[in-house]
Chain A
């Protein structure tokens, strides 16, 4: 069995890298005393597997990590659902799964949020049998909000319309020390102007992970060459579910805290 955890990365903490996030999560798991499985061998490491890596400096409300549990960690609980045996006691993953007889239960979602650093919050924890594909393999596209510094909404709307009308949009980027150009248009499934922050127009996009992962920052030179991107925030990671697209874990399954809109 494994726990699938959805967490955010908002504010100053956006500047830590992917490996840093992994270390922060590891320490939080140990603080909570979650019985997460370790690798074997001379240097046992906690078995964490993440969704698509978030570029350093980006914010997110939709980060995911799978935590495989040691055998025997999941107990039956009662009719309301299973509970996990942690160092500090047995906890339900999140509120709607907790036994109704114990409403004051500290959930794993709450315990992890408490153990994480400011700017990282757990918004959903689900228990799965762990048989499906890995998060990396399952995620096919991501939703993003991002703003463009100094660009007003009207100009942004015009640029978006031109972008969407184009059959190909070739941009250049530096990859392993070399400048490569590629057509990013096929990766852009949705692109629209949704508002304005104190920096400039806020755009919303859905970018597919195939043929390659395109970042919001790659769109900006094509939309507004004279402008820089402000802050980008991942809002969703989409997988294919039985009934169309779905997210690995949905915040509605847990009480939400500290939701703040993207703005300066």
Chain B
């Protein structure tokens, strides 16, 4: 077990951004290396600056290194310039912590945040010196694992990955560590790899593709069935019931070079029950589990003090829904002053630095109906962070269909709040190619954007809006999983429609996601096991970093589909029927299939669905199947009003939710009400 640093170091002066490969982060663990430890290499299959901030990876990194029987290091996909240098001198993939070779680890576990990174997963396995095909790997080779949201349809990577983790990883990594540790102690003898794989398949939430037979009926998938009686027919996701028991990361990695989210991140809740029908994250992470406010405050305070950051992101799928969000933002912004004043004996210097010490708060995924003047004013007291609102669809009709029940008044209210508090530009995010979308719906995007800039002009001459337009890709485990994705030409036409509807409006800047990339994403999103050959083909032809527009090539994907005898229309553009076997039917996200189907039918009928956090349960399956409940601090929606549900939520106290006690004993203390 030797470090590869002496071989890597001479290559670094020749590559771009060499700081990607040195580690050296504040918060980097010093993993002990030893044959008695199960060693994990946590891999993010994209560049360092995109992968480093990933919270899931950082949480597991800490949890594993806290275990006496495990160690964990990290790796990221080397950019093409370093990859060429590495291949030229035979240098394998390495960890950034101790620069050990990837092949020396017991487990290499990939985070799958997006489908277009799949070719990078293969490239990393290959750079580790391993066969990309799981069936051809040796008994004592590292086990290849994968988790993250894309693991909810594991089939496209089933031929390359030994095991997938479905759902929250906090608990299951320990169980995997113990199983792999036991196997390691027996010496990983020849012929025993099948045994450890079978053992892993017995762990709840772990899917081992090699333990399943796949049958086809012509182009259609017939069944995915377990090979052995002890292998589960349905692999159900793992869910941690109480976030209060997991105050991680405690020591967030602070990188020494610029990364995409270079700030402190504190997860305020997990799960979302807004019920937006296009949103996979909202469907698969149910129910809502809020972190106690006292613990959030302590994590923010300790995190800022330790890291030296002056900006914190309060993370969740919809942060404005957090109970007591306005107070939390106010206290967080003031945090710099509080800490500065707490132990200082000299008042004069405090006053002088007070403004500069303010903490900037960024609120990702801010719902427009919750961005009140109050919240805007709190956020704007520090440096104004970028502001993005996501109406998702241009017309009220279409927003009812996708169940994003934001009225125009909601949007204009939020926009007015922002402009009145000093912002002069904001970003509006829309999807196009949504089910039943017609040209007036698409053109309404331009009208909304134009109306927003008119409001802005009441406050500033510089008022402008950036419209960001993404092509809709249907995702597994959502009500839209049966919908046929728009072909790239249709998506491109809709982009042109918005552009011409905007005319010469110079206050609106239009940006759009490449429709061709949405098509490739669609192949992997709802693909079955046969798509693995397509991914391998694209990878072998050099198609890595497909998330990067300068590297993306739809022609390569089309060529691969043709070479594998697969139809793009069949996989991407075709509507699915109610009884079709879907490639992810043997993976359980907790949602009843008939709930999803009925919600899909309701969508087409234009019926909305309320947020079950504050209104009665409609039994989607996420709670009832697991015997868990929402865990929120207040039965009443923050900020009052309809909260984008189109309903009167004043009677929220009638809702059967698990309530957190208002006072928490202290951060990190397990909550007494969690069971």
Contacts and interface: CB of A to CB of B under 8 A. Distances in A.
A19 interface: yes
B627 interface: no
B215 interface: no
Contacts of B383: 42-44
Contact of B339 (A19, A23, A87, A119): A87
B22 A15 contact: yes
A1 interface: no
B23 interface: yes
Interface in A77-100: 85-90
Interface stretch (A30-38, A126-134, A156-164): A30-38
Given A15-B12, A31-B308, A38-B355, A89 B258 contact: no
A219 to B, nearest CB: 16
Contacts of B166: none
A15 B82 CA distance: 14
Given A38-B355, A72-B348, A73-B349, A119 B24 contact: yes
A75 B349 CA distance: 10
Interface in B285-342: 305-310, 339-340
Given A30-B310, A44-B383, A13 B24 contact: yes
A26 B12 contact: no
Nearest to A31: B308
A90 B310 CA distance: 22
Interface in B49-77: none
Interface string B5-32: 1000000110000110111111000000
Nearest to A115: B308
Describe B's contact surface by its main secondary structure.
loop
A155 interface: no
B231 interface: no
Contact of A24 (B256, B339, B352, B353): B256
Contact of B26 (A37, A90, A117): A117
Contacts of B339: 87
B19 A15 contact: yes
A73 B24 contact: no
Nearest to B342: A87
A57 B18 contact: yes
Nearest to A35: B349
B47 to A, nearest CB: 15
A44 to B, nearest CB: 5
Interface residues of B, number: 37
Contacts of A90: 345-346
Nearest to B351: A72
B198 to A, nearest CB: 42
Contacts of A42: 383-384, 422
B550 interface: no
B315 to A, nearest CB: 20
B353 A16 contact: no
Given A15-B22, A42-B384, A28 B349 contact: no
Given A87-B340, A115-B308, A13 B349 contact: no
A23 B307 contact: no
Interface in A32-87: 33, 35, 37-38, 42-44, 46, 56-57, 70-73, 75, 85-87
A257 interface: no
B353 A27 contact: no
A75 B310 CA distance: 26
B549 interface: no
B428 to A, nearest CB: 21
Contacts of A87: 339-340, 343-344
A20 B352 contact: no
B356 interface: yes
Given A43-B383, A117-B26, A31 B19 contact: no
Contacts of A37: 356
A156 B257 CA distance: 36
A17 interface: yes
Contact of A27 (B5, B21, B254, B344): B254
A21 to B, nearest CB: 9
B12 A72 contact: no
Contact of A117 (B256, B356, B384): B256
Contacts of B18: 15, 56-57
A234 to B, nearest CB: 16
A12 interface: yes
A260 B344 CA distance: 37
Contact of A44 (B256, B307, B352, B356): B356
Interface string B147-179: 000000000000000000000000000000000
A16 B25 CA distance: 11
Given A20-B257, A33-B340, A44-B383, A118 B24 contact: yes
Contacts of B22: 12-13, 15-16
Given A24-B256, A70-B352, A89-B345, 9 more contacts: A15-B18, A20-B256, A27-B309, A37-B356, A38-B355, A70-B349, A70-B353, A85-B348, A90-B346
Interface of A: 12-13, 15-17, 19-20, 23-24, 26-31, 33, 35, 37-38, 42-44, 46, 56-57, 70-73, 75, 85-90, 115, 117-119
> Which 5 pairs of residues, A with B, have the shortest CB-CB distance?
A27-B308, A38-B356, A70-B352, A15-B18, A31-B308
8 contacts: A15-B21, A16-B22, A16-B256, A20-B256, A33-B344, A44-B383, A86-B344, A89-B345
Interface of B: 5, 12-13, 18-19, 21-26, 254, 256-258, 262, 305-310, 339-340, 343-346, 348-349, 352-353, 355-356, 383-384, 422
